[in-house]
Amino acid sequence: MEKRISLKREVKITMVLVLAFVLLSAIYLVLVKFKGNSEPELLNYVPSKVVTNEDIPVVKEETKLLNPYTDSNVKIGKYYYDYKADKTKQENSITENDNTYMQNSGIDFIASNTFDVISSQNGEVTNVKEDELLGKTIEIKHDNNYMSIYQSLSEVNVKKGDQVTAGQIIGKSGHNKLDEELGNHLHYELYIDGKIVNPEDHLNKEIKSSKNQQ
């Protein structure tokens, strides 16, 4: 009479796992052979859109029109004549010469001592002259059809045709015969697209694109 060999439960489980592993290995080898014995192809993921430097948003750097001076003691002595301004400011914007009253076409910056005059922005010096009434004058053409004029200078450090940068010292404040009562000062005018404007509306503000360049 034959004896039956009783296998422990753990041994049975181990045998089943081994058989399953062998079976899966055989299936894998058949599949690999079916594909020409090649290694499984690894695919590199490529995004549908390649990001370049041009796709990175660029923070626009503001270009501001600078005050034509750096001395903290400088203040406004006479305002630009604005027909919308109050009566007191308008009275301060009148220039009298030889019994003739004229509306001030710019701003007069005053200080007790002579101060450096700087270019409000990058540009080209288009004219340097000396006038009997207005004193030494510098005219600078900037981008976007902006033009600044600096009068009543005691000293000029640039000449016609020079390229200047924003903040560059171009001269010093002085006196003129037209506004003798102001004493030491700088008369500053601003033109945009050939039209005179109130400098107060544009100084320390971003330079806007000219209508003539759009």
pLDDT digits (tens, 9 = 90+) for 78-115: 999 887 788 888 878 887 766 777 889 999 999 999 99
**Residues near 184 by beta carbon (within 8 Å), at least 6 away in sequence:** 110, 111, 112, 113, 114, 115, 173, 174, 175
Look at residue 41 and tell me whether its pLDDT is greater than 80: no
Residue 18 CA to residue 22 CA, distance in Å, equals 6
Would you list the domain boundaries of the chain? 75-213
pLDDT digits (tens, 9 = 90+) for 141-195: 999 999 999 999 999 999 999 999 999 999 999 999 888 889 999 999 999 999 9
Bridge-based pairing state of the strands 100-103 and 94-97: antiparallel
Q: For the residues of the chain, what is the DSSP string, one character each? A: -PPPPPPPHHHHHHHHHHHHHHHHHHHHHHHHHHTTSPPPPPPPP--SS---GGGSPPPPPP-BBPPS---TT-EEEEPPP-TTS-HHHHHHTEEEETTEEEE--SEEEE-SS--EEE-SSSEEEEEEEEETTTEEEEEEE-GGGEEEEEEEEEEE---TT-EE-TT-EEEEEB--STTGGG-SEEEEEEEETTEEE-GGGTBTSBPPPPGGG-
Query: What pLDDT was estimated at residue 13?
Result: 75
Query: What pLDDT was estimated at residue 17?
Result: 76
Phi, psi of 140 (to 5 degrees): -130, 130
- State the architecture of 75-213 in CATH terms: Distorted Sandwich (2.70)
